[in-house]
Amino acid sequence: MTSSNDYLIQFEHVFFAYPGGGSVIHDFSAGVRRGEFIALIGPNGSGKSTLAGLAAGALRPAAGWVKVDGMDTADPSVIGAIRRRVGLVLQNPDNQLVAARVEEDVAFGPENLNLPSPEVRRRVEYAIAAVGLDRLRDRPPHLLSGGEKQRLAIAGLLALEPSCLVLDEPTSMLDPRGRREVLGVLKNLVAKGTTVLQVTHHMGEAAEAGRVWVLAEGKLQADASPGTVFSRPELLQRLGLALPPAAELAGCLAARDINVPAGIVNLEDMVHFLCRALK
Amino acid sequence: MPCIKIENLTHTYFPGTPLETAALQDISLTVDQGETLALAGATGSGKSTLVRHLNGLLAPTAGRVRILDGDVADKKFRRQLWRRVGLVFQFPERQIFSATVHEDIAFGPRNTGLAGQALSERVSQAAAAVGLPEDMLRTDPAELSGGMLRRAAIAGVLAMHPDILILDEPGAGLEPRARESILQRIKELQVSQGTTVILITHQLDDAALYADRLALLKKGRLLAVGPTAEILSRCDLLDEAGLEPPFTVELTRRLAAAGINLPKTPLNPAEAARLLAVML
Amino acid sequence: MLSGITMGQYLPGRSPVHRMDPRAKLLAAALVVPAILLAGFWPAITAVTLWLAVVSGLSGLRPGVYWRSMKPLWVLLLLSFTMQAFFTPGEPLVHLGWINISEPGLVQGALLLWRLGILLVVASVITFTTTPLQLTNGLEWLLSPLIRLRVPVRELAMIMNLALRFVPTLFDEARLLLMAQQSRGADFTHGSIRERVRGLVPFMVPLLTNIFRRADDLALAMELRCYQVGAPRSRLTELRFVAGDYAAIAATAMLLVFVWGTRLMW
């Protein structure tokens, strides 16, 4: 076993069931390393959201354990410390915003930590800048676009200065522009050292991550780079998942007996390959 | 034959107050009987406001809207328009209120005066049309998955047998397979029943697959309208509308920038592979 | 439609009144209300009116704005005046059939009209120049002594704050639901009372369901952001009294003393 220090979040033989329902997570073991960008994909009802809740300590496993920075999420005495390390962003941005002004909303978390005003101010400035909402700081949330609202929700958690963000389908209610905005913010955060675990059903987004987890029926079906996962169309097809368009094109070309290198999952790689092949 | 004729439609919210906003400005557009028109534009471009004129929820501030055989300026005609023009709102499952799926689907047709056996048949037909299994009709909507719930909500509008069906982002927030399946069902309905379909979407890949014509809106104005393939191959228009071109269109543009010109702009990966295979 | 709601609306600005500490505004209001109620003679009435003229002048808002905010309440004001004028006993001045209008009646009516009008303008000054959040913070501070009596003041302030945040969202949601059900032929405006109440079901049920779902999400989101009921919280901007705030409170206190004085002297 790897030393627990490598992992920021670690799942070990985790089981979970909702009251009155069947098993949702079934013997799940995996780990999120510091600084990683993981995309979690899977069909509806596969347990993706549940896993996100477990990772952030919002849910406790029925059996097995989840550790954040070595702290067991089932231990009530460390839940505060876990909340400060892992932030969970929910699907609907509207329901996560608490204040009638952008700036006040970002301040909510640090205020709850009872930090002195100058420190609250510093964190608000940091978080607002990190998601690019500087110019909208005085707006009421209901006058923001979907993408702006979700960026604000992210800022609200960043103000707690977590090591890791877990996002439960943060872009599923957004238009393409909003989705691009949020993905841009996430990539930026990863570049600056924040660990990100993102649940998504948008394969183009998953292709941008460093690693992909495929979940079905509460079990981990694949854990590999996007290039590897998306070159296995049989698995994805069986689970009712689509391919990112670049991978789909690569598949169509391969079916026409054209030699396409493995691991092409995004536009950049495809353009690169075609330019070389056609010149 | 046009079934919707919009002439110089303008709509202003809160006229005469400090909150006055022009939501639609001078829009002229016709929709033909039995076609699928996709209506695309960024958030706030006026798509929703536009379609609310088509089923009687809003009246024009200026201009004329003729639908089927009537004018929406006629209050009596406008009041009854919901019977003939079905509008599926975004995230329609949020409007479900009944204890069983059957009851919820039956709400619309019952309001048109249908009852008994005829009503039950309508409900079953509509459920089948969207791919909702018959045995799910007796269940509590709370027990359905997101995809099935969406189908039930759409069936609630289909069951009124509208001549014109308008769907606002019917696939939003669904996993790829459910999304594809729902859009496919609607396409089949259009083909088999001759229903006119207006599809609001900001997902141009969907428009590429299912729409005959595509209209682009920007800040309440009509930017362009034409055959889907023609509009989609104009990256400049898509950029101006604030929309993301489909993958293959973006690929074509990037290749052209590198000096590689495809004979035409492919609209899906299979077509792109066919064109590229010839060149490789 | 919603455009009618202008009373209680915050109107952004940088005037001295806008920049006052919300607590000072609430304290000054608490002092001026008894002064308004006690004022019954010319010197006191003049002093209070002058005070308000200065305050509303300093707010940087045109008199027309205050005038318009009172408009919806005209009927109420007129009614109060008439009731006083007609039903105050005294030497009749005018006979209109069985109705007697006495001089004391007219005086009482005018005084009531003046008091209500002044109170309304005071309320408008506060709501026009103070954001809802500032108002909540101010109220929380004013009520904070009640924490000793186990009144959950912090929590009440948080609830008020959340209500302010979600009112526009819920309005949007309700409007959308109304339209969606109308599109399926729902009718909320015709038929007997029974039918109308039944007609509300397709609207109220999903509205409540959606509100509860939102509330669930919100509770989780707040918890995830380290909110704990009853725990002390710091603030992004500490409220701070400055010289102007003290001056405003002192001036208002003097006004109250003066009004009281005139009352004792007569």
Nearest to C183 among B82, B96, B97 (CB): B82
Contacts of C31 (CB under 8 A, 6+ apart): C249, C252, C253, C255, C256
Q: Which of A182, A190, A107, A197 is nearest to A144 (CA)?
A: A182
Rounded to whole angstroms, the Cα distance separating B202 from A188 reads: 25
Q: What's chain A look like in SS3?
A: CCCHHHEEEEEEEEEEECCCCCEEEEEEEEEEECCCEEEEECCCCCCHHHHHHHHCCCCCCCEEEEEECCEECCCHHHHHHHHHHEEEECCCHHHHCCCCCHHHHHHHHHHHCCCCHHHHHHHHHHHHHHCCCHHHCCCCHHHCCHHHHHHHHHHHHHCCCCCEEEEECCCCCCCHHHHHHHHHHHHHHHHCCCEEEEECCCHHHHCCCCEEEEEECCEEEEEECHHHHCCCHHHHHHCCCCCCHHHHHHHHHHHCCCCCCCCCCCHHHHHHHHHHHHC
- Provide Rg for chain B, Cα atoms: 20
- Contact predicate A197/A9, CB 8 Å: yes
pLDDT of C146 above 70: yes
In angstroms, what CA-CA distances link A233 with A227, A263, B276, C104, C257? 11, 12, 21, 93, 84
- Contact predicate C206/B94, CB 8 Å: yes
Residue owning tokens 């006058």: A143
Task: Return the pLDDT at B16.
Answer: 65
pLDDT digits (tens, 9 = 90+) for C225-262: 999 988 888 988 888 889 999 999 999 999 999 999 99
Task: Return the pLDDT at C3.
Answer: 35
CA B201 to chain centroid, in Å, comes to 7
C-beta neighbour count of C73 within 10 angstroms: 13
Sign of CA dihedral C167, C172, C178, C181: negative
Min distance C218 CA to chain A CA atoms (Å): 5
Rounded to whole angstroms, the Cα distance separating C120 from C130 reads: 15
The kind and range of the H/E element at B269 are helix B269-279
DSSP secondary structure string for all residues of C149-177: GT--HHHHHHHHHHHHHHHHHHHHHHHHH
- Contact predicate A226/A247, CB 8 Å: no
Inter-chain residue contact A43 with B177, CB threshold 8 Å = yes
In angstroms, what CA-CA distances link B134 with A233, B127, B149, C184? 32, 7, 14, 22
Q: What is the ipTM of this complex?
A: 0.90
Rounded to whole angstroms, the Cα distance separating C33 from C27 reads: 10
Q: Where are the domains of chain B?
A: 1-84+162-244, 101-156, 246-280
Task: Return the pLDDT at C5.
Answer: 37
With b meaning 16 or more CB within 10 Å and e meaning fewer, what string describes B85-121? bbbbbbbbbbbbbbeebbbbbbbbbbbbebeeeebee
Nearest to A44 among B175, B203, B248 (CB): B175
What is the pLDDT confidence band of residue C1, given thresholds at 50, 70 and 90?
A: very low
DSSP, collapsed to helix, strand or coil, labels residue B143 as: helix
Min distance B123 CA to chain A CA atoms (Å): 26
C-beta neighbour count of C54 within 10 angstroms: 11
pLDDT digits (tens, 9 = 90+) for A82-99: 999 999 999 998 899 998
Task: Return the pLDDT at C8.
Answer: 59
> What are chain B's partners, defined as 3 or more CB pairs within 8 angstroms?
A, C
Residues of A in contact with B176 (CB under 8 A): 201, 203, 240-242
Residues of B in contact with A269 (CB under 8 A): none
**Cα end-to-end span (Å), chain A:** 48
The arrangement of strands across the sheet holding B164-168 comes to: B85-88, B164-168, B196-200, B36-40, B213-218, B221-227
Provide φ and ψ at B158, rounded to 5°: -60, -35
Contacts of C153 (CB under 8 A, 6+ apart): C140, C143, C144, C146, C147
DSSP, collapsed to helix, strand or coil, labels residue B44 as: coil
Rounded to whole angstroms, the Cα distance separating A33 from C168 reads: 41
pLDDT digits (tens, 9 = 90+) for B206-230: 898 899 999 999 999 999 999 999 9
Rounded to whole angstroms, the Cα distance separating A109 from C231 reads: 13
Amino acid at B245: P
Nearest to A267 among B146, B177, B247 (CB): B247
CA A186 to chain centroid, in Å, comes to 8
pLDDT digits (tens, 9 = 90+) for A243-272: 999 999 999 999 999 999 988 999 999 999
Rounded to whole angstroms, the Cα distance separating C173 from C190 reads: 23
Task: Return the pLDDT at A75.
Answer: 95
In terms of DSSP H, where are the helices of chain C? 16-19, 22-38, 42-58, 63-70, 74-87, 103-129, 132-143, 153-182, 193-224, 243-265
Which structural domains are found in chain A, ordered by start?
Answer: 4-243 (3.40.50.300)
Inter-chain residue contact A112 with C235, CB threshold 8 Å = no
What is the pLDDT confidence band of residue C20, given thresholds at 50, 70 and 90?
A: very high
Positions in chain A whose pLDDT score sits under 70: 1-5
pLDDT of B17 above 70: no
Determine contact: C80 vs chain A, CB below 8 A: no
Nearest to A241 among B176, B205, B246 (CB): B176
DSSP, collapsed to helix, strand or coil, labels residue B6 as: strand
CATH superfamily ID and name for B1-84+162-244: P-loop containing nucleotide triphosphate hydrolases (3.40.50.300)
Determine contact: C211 vs chain A, CB below 8 A: no
Rounded to whole angstroms, the Cα distance separating A229 from A143 reads: 39
Rounded to whole angstroms, the Cα distance separating A36 from A166 reads: 12
In angstroms, what CA-CA distances link B125 with B98, B113, B193, B196, C266? 19, 17, 13, 18, 86
- Contact predicate A140/C257, CB 8 Å: no
pLDDT of B24 above 90: yes
Higher pLDDT, C132 or A259: A259
Residues of C in contact with A153 (CB under 8 A): 221
In angstroms, what CA-CA distances link B16 with B12, B61, C3? 10, 12, 10
What is the mean predicted confidence (pLDDT) over B264-279?
92
Q: Which residues of C touch B (CB under 8 A)?
A: 1, 3, 176-177, 179-187, 201-202, 205-206, 209-210
DSSP, collapsed to helix, strand or coil, labels residue C72 as: helix
Nearest to C233 among A96, A97, A112 (CB): A112
Rounded to whole angstroms, the Cα distance separating B50 from B52 reads: 5
Q: Which residues pair with A229 in a beta bridge?
A: none
- Contact predicate A104/A74, CB 8 Å: no
pLDDT digits (tens, 9 = 90+) for C198-207: 888 899 999 9
What is the pLDDT confidence band of residue B19, given thresholds at 50, 70 and 90?
A: low
Rounded to whole angstroms, the Cα distance separating A121 from A116 reads: 9
Residues of B in contact with A143 (CB under 8 A): none
Query: Which among B83, B88, B97 is the top mutation candidate for probing chain C, defined by the most C β-carbons within 10 Å of its own β-carbon?
Result: B97
